[in-house]
Structure 1
Amino acid sequence: MKMLRTIAPALSLLLLVSVTSCRKNPPARPDQPFVAPNVSMQDITFHSPALNRDMPYRVFLPVHIEQGEKLPVVYLLHGGNGGFRDWSNNSQVSRYAAQGLILVMPEGAFSYYMNAAGKTEDRYEDYAFTDLISDVESRFPAANTRDKRAIIGISMGGFAAIKIAFTRPELFGFVAAFSPSIDILHRRYNMKRTGEWWRIRTIFGPWGSDARTARDPLGLVKKAEPSKTPYIYLTVGENEPLRDPNQRFAQQLRDSHFSFEFHIKPGGHDWGEWDSQIPGAFESLIKHSNICDSKPHS
């Protein structure tokens, strides 16, 4: 009987993980991208050495590009359980490509764009911030300097954008995060969310581990140098659970004298709110970086 009491919790946990992993994925939504006038769209598949497999990404760029011209690049990271088509299907972001920008939307799966602590083959950070950038800059007329690169992420992608701003500040001159899951490493999960808990543990490592600490923006902000960190545009919806964690994070940035701005806007954790934040982010991008002169390419 004592052995049964010992084994039962483990069996329950295994059952919960199995049930979670066996749930059917929701049906794929139709791919209906919004492509603005004077903008072309391309879907690219390339081989990522870091992941040792082919990965897709979507690109918007101006139809008319002058010979020898090198265009600034903005990388757009999707959220958890999303995909590389999300930005194009749920927003009108393509219109900014007509301003002389290359917009790159990579596939990130549910990875937080991190090198997974528990799966050495899942090196998503190396894929996204080494392999992908290299492929974009060799395939397209893309500028290859920090001041001509920017990154914008939503939710999971916003977390990654903030984290990379602290750990690899030499890559991007501007960072924007919409509703970033900034507190993901500090959440407690109940038994109904065992599957999500296990995925987070695989990516970031167990509680208290060095791997987890090295991936936590709330800790990294205390070590980062404000003078070397790119300008940060941070926004969150007033009706979403992430409002309070992001308010506290903004206060950390303020106390440490980072260059940033923080906005609480109407809306929740959804594309209605995020699409409405795109104009403000690009206005800030133009104001606080040398990435573009906002001259239309028509």
Structure 2
Amino acid sequence: MRRKSMLLVLGLMLAVTMLYSNVFAAPGEDAQATSSIVKTSLFSTSLQKEMNVNVYLPPGYNENEKYPVLYVLHKLDEDEDFWFDQVLLDEQTDRLIGLRKIRPLIIVSPQYDRSWGLNSADEVGMVNNYWHVGRYEDYITKDLIEFIDSTYSTQKSRSGRYIGGTSMGGYSALLAAFKHHNLYSKVGGHAPALFEYMWEPLKQMAGGTDEERQQNNPTWLAMHEKQNMLDIYVDIGDADWLKDGALRFNEIMQDQNLKNYQFHYIPGGAHDAAYWSSQAENYLLFYAGDTK
């Protein structure tokens, strides 16, 4: 009897071990057991130069599955490493996938320089030896998406494509989504750099006329075009030096009375990586939290 009991216990332990080892793996022989970040690059035809991009592949990534894709844009003076090295978005994503709070997804963090995501010039260049000009909107909304969809196993419809960003990246993400409803279903501005009247250094990058600048201002677009095709998430800390622009944006959006818009005003939140990292779980639940 003792021998049978021991064999039964060992069998149960083996079954539990096998079950645990497959929690993060999708069906299929080629599924990876843990997440990974692929550091790669693409040649942008819009910019006529090589651009770096980091791609997070979830635990269990399998070529036989189709994954939603979240594009995340960095703040000013950062690069494609920001979201993973400072915000630690990959660690939060691993944890929430493991807890089955979010669906497995691909996360793309691209280089896009100090460009604000604008089509600011036909040729790549610099303004005041600091700002990057070129067809960066086309790079983000065309070249980057085409590269990711052709390289990885993605859901290629707008319903499975999201975009978000911090500070300058929040501005760029909202602009891209507001101008390209056909590409994205969800957008997040996380402590976004927003201006009702465009910030002076942006004016020459955003267009030569008032009309062109208005079409490159997410706040103006929110005021004049009802954004009812997107799920929209905006957050800002009450200690953030950019809060006035976000609060004005929120007033405009609330006037539209949209069911698909949410705003979060976070006590103590500053304009830094510590804030964005503290909110990363909420961001991920917004983008990928529907696990039904």
- CA deviations 1:177-235 (Å, max 9, x no partner) are 111111185335xxxxxxxx2xx2342135x532212101121113323332x111100
Task: Map 1:217-232 onto structure 2 (within 5 A).
Answer: 217-228=218-229, 230-232=230-232
Decide whether the 8 Å contact of 2:79 with 2:112 is kept in 1. yes
- Counterpart amino acid of residue 112 in structure 1: W
TM-score, structure 2 normalization = 0.77
- Measure, in 2, the Cα distance between the counterparts of 1:69 and 1:134: 18
Decide whether the 8 Å contact of 2:223 with 2:253 is kept in 1. no
Residue of structure 2 equivalent to 1:263: 264
Deviation at 1:63, TM superposition (A): 4.0
Decide whether the 8 Å contact of 1:159 with 1:181 is kept in 2. yes
Deviation at 1:293, TM superposition (A): 2.5
- Counterpart amino acid of residue 75 in structure 1: Y
Decide whether the 8 Å contact of 1:38 with 1:62 is kept in 2. yes
- Measure, in 2, the Cα distance between the counterparts of 1:286 and 1:66: 18
- CA deviations 1:20-39 (Å, max 9, x no partner) are xxxxxxxxxxxxxxxxx821
- Measure, in 1, the Cα distance between the counterparts of 2:237 and 2:55: 27
Deviation at 1:280, TM superposition (A): 1.0
| Identity among equivalent pairs (%) | 27
Residue of structure 1 equivalent to 2:28: none
Residue of structure 1 equivalent to 2:245: 245
Residue of structure 2 equivalent to 1:172: 184
Deviation at 1:67, TM superposition (A): 4.5
Structure 2 stretches lacking a partner, 5+ long: 1-32, 98-102, 125-133
- Measure, in 2, the Cα distance between the counterparts of 1:86 and 1:170: 27
- Measure, in 1, the Cα distance between the counterparts of 2:281 and 2:76: 23
1:184–1:105 distance in 2 versus 1, CA, 3 Å: farther
Task: Map 1:91-110 onto structure 2 (within 5 A).
Answer: 91-95=87-91, 96=93, 98=97, 99-110=103-114
- Counterpart amino acid of residue 117 in structure 2: Y
Residue of structure 2 equivalent to 1:82: 78
- Measure, in 2, the Cα distance between the counterparts of 1:115 and 1:185: 19
- Measure, in 1, the Cα distance between the counterparts of 2:80 and 2:196: 22
- Counterpart amino acid of residue 53 in structure 1: K
Deviation at 1:254, TM superposition (A): 0.8
1:93–1:223 distance in 2 versus 1, CA, 3 Å: same
- Measure, in 1, the Cα distance between the counterparts of 2:136 and 2:207: 15
Aligned alpha-carbon RMSD (Å): 2.0
- CA deviations 1:149-181 (Å, max 9, x no partner) are 111100001001111222111111111111111
Decide whether the 8 Å contact of 1:39 with 1:61 is kept in 2. yes
Task: Map 1:1-298 onto structure 2 (within 5 A).
Answer: 38-95=34-91, 96=93, 98=97, 99-116=103-120, 118=121, 120-121=123-124, 122-183=134-195, 185-187=197-199, 197=201, 200-206=202-208, 209-228=210-229, 230-258=230-258, 259-265=260-266, 266-286=268-288, 293=291
- Measure, in 1, the Cα distance between the counterparts of 2:196 and 2:241: 12
Aligned length: 241
3-state SS of 2:77 partner:
coil
- Structure (1 or 2) with the larger CA radius of gyration: 2
- CA deviations 1:83-120 (Å, max 9, x no partner) are 1111111022113255511010000100011111x554
Residue of structure 2 equivalent to 1:21: none
Residue of structure 1 equivalent to 2:20: none
1:263–1:53 distance in 2 versus 1, CA, 3 Å: same
- Counterpart amino acid of residue 204 in structure 1: A
TM-score, structure 1 normalization = 0.76
- Measure, in 1, the Cα distance between the counterparts of 2:69 and 2:182: 15
Decide whether the 8 Å contact of 1:174 with 1:231 is kept in 2. yes
- CA deviations 1:64-86 (Å, max 9, x no partner) are 23452111100010011111111
Decide whether the 8 Å contact of 2:45 with 2:143 is kept in 1. yes
- Measure, in 1, the Cα distance between the counterparts of 2:122 and 2:228: 34
Residue of structure 1 equivalent to 2:129: none
Structure 1 stretches lacking a partner, 5+ long: 1-36, 189-196
3-state SS of 2:108 partner:
strand
3-state SS of 2:223 partner:
coil
- Measure, in 2, the Cα distance between the counterparts of 1:53 and 1:67: 29
